[in-house]
Amino acid sequence: MGRENQSSAKDFILSGLTDNPTLQQILFFSFLLIYITTILGNVGIMVITKTEANLNTPMYFFLRHLSFSDLCYSSVITPEMLANFLRKEKVIQLAGCAAQMFIFVTFGAMECFLLGIMAYDRYLAICQPLHYHVTMDNKACMTFVGAAYMGSLLNALVHTTGTFSLSFCRSNIIKHFYCDIPPLLRLSCSDTTINEILLVVFGIMTSWFSLLVIIISYGYIIYAIFKMHSASGRRKVLSTCTSHFTAVSMFYGALFFMYFRPATSFSVGKDSIASMFYTIFIPMLNPLIYSLRNRDVKEALVKAIRRTFFKAGHQK
């Protein structure tokens, strides 16, 4: 019996992005460069926001966890994709596929929660500055992040358990470059109604709830900006929010295109492009957005580079 007609799949084959050997080589080196940039950028943000005293604030505490989230869900996808560019058979074992999905869904949900928390943090800092340091103290920051991790893990556990409880007897070829929920549901010969309901319910609890928090927070922020009489005050507020709003727009744009559109509009090419954007490009772009559009991060980065070169020169 052929690999595609097995009644119980023990492993899967990822179709990948292309079967063209020349294009695979080009994509390998392109995505390798992107992944190296992602690692350097996110690790750099994590180190700078941890070591620089002037960045020891709730906003940068949340940004550090956002960079950690970006690094994790990119790292569970990109290395496997890079390896598959060099393999003849893009095989991933059942356990490996489940682990990849669990980690990816965990940190994908974590990204949603953190973007919502960061918007709420900006609302408190701009609209309630006198109460900000009392409301958003260390305990509150740890509580917000801890709750985000717990919710993300629960979300991933429900989806991964539900997906891999299904029977995959139609085919074991996943028409994607990683183990994601919609492509796996299309392979199942079981009834996937409950899985689809859970996808919508938990999608509302994570992405839609976080987006609602973001919209309400920015509604108050925009109202506060219009009430300001000082042009310099407006510029300062906008400079602290622009980078976050840019990151939100990119992430949710790709996320909604991938998961919250009619099933009849799904196609392998469109799904792959949308998935590449939020799994590979956004984790690379976020550190650039938060560093290039944020004066405090830029100044801290320059100081860190100067210290590094000064120590290296002093040691010589």
Question: 3-state secondary structure string, the chain?
Answer: CCHHHCCCCCEEEECCCCCCHHHHHHHHHHHHHHHHHHHHHHHHHHHHHHHCHHHCCHHHHHHHHHHHHHHHHHHCCHHHHHHHHCCCCCEEEHHHHHHHHHHHHHHHHHHHHHHHHHHHHHHHHHHCHHHHHHHCCHHHHHHHHHHHHHHHHHHHHHHHHHHCCCCCCCCCEECCCCCCHHHHHHHCCCCCHHHHHHHHHHHHHHHHHHHHHHHHHHHHHHHHHHHCCCHHHHHHHHHHHHHHHHHHHHHHHHHHHHHCCCHHHCCHHHHHHHHHHHHHHHHHHHHHHHHHCCHHHHHHHHHHHHHHHHHHHHHC
Q: CATH classification of 3-315 is 1.20.1070.10, yes or no?
A: yes
What are the tens digits of pLDDT across the range 133-167? 899 999 999 999 999 999 999 999 999 999 999 88
Residue 270 has a pLDDT of: 61
Supply 205's token pair.
């609890």
CA count, 13 A, side-chain hemisphere, 4: 5
On the question of pLDDT at 60 being above 60, the answer is yes
State the burial class of residue 3 (Cβ atoms within 10 Å of its Cβ: 0-12, 13-18, 19+).
middle
pLDDT at res. 163: 93
Q: How confident is the model over 182-235, as pLDDT tens digits?
A: 889 888 888 889 998 988 888 888 888 999 999 999 999 988 888 877 777 777
- pLDDT of res. 2: 41
Whether the predicted pLDDT of 8 surpasses 60: no
Q: What is the pLDDT of residue 1?
A: 38
The overall average pLDDT reported for the chain is: 84
Is residue 265 over pLDDT 60? no
Q: Find residue 92's DSSP bridge partners.
A: 12
Residue of 78 and 239 predicted with greater confidence: 78
> Which band of pLDDT confidence, cut at 50, 70 and 90, is reported for residue 267?
low
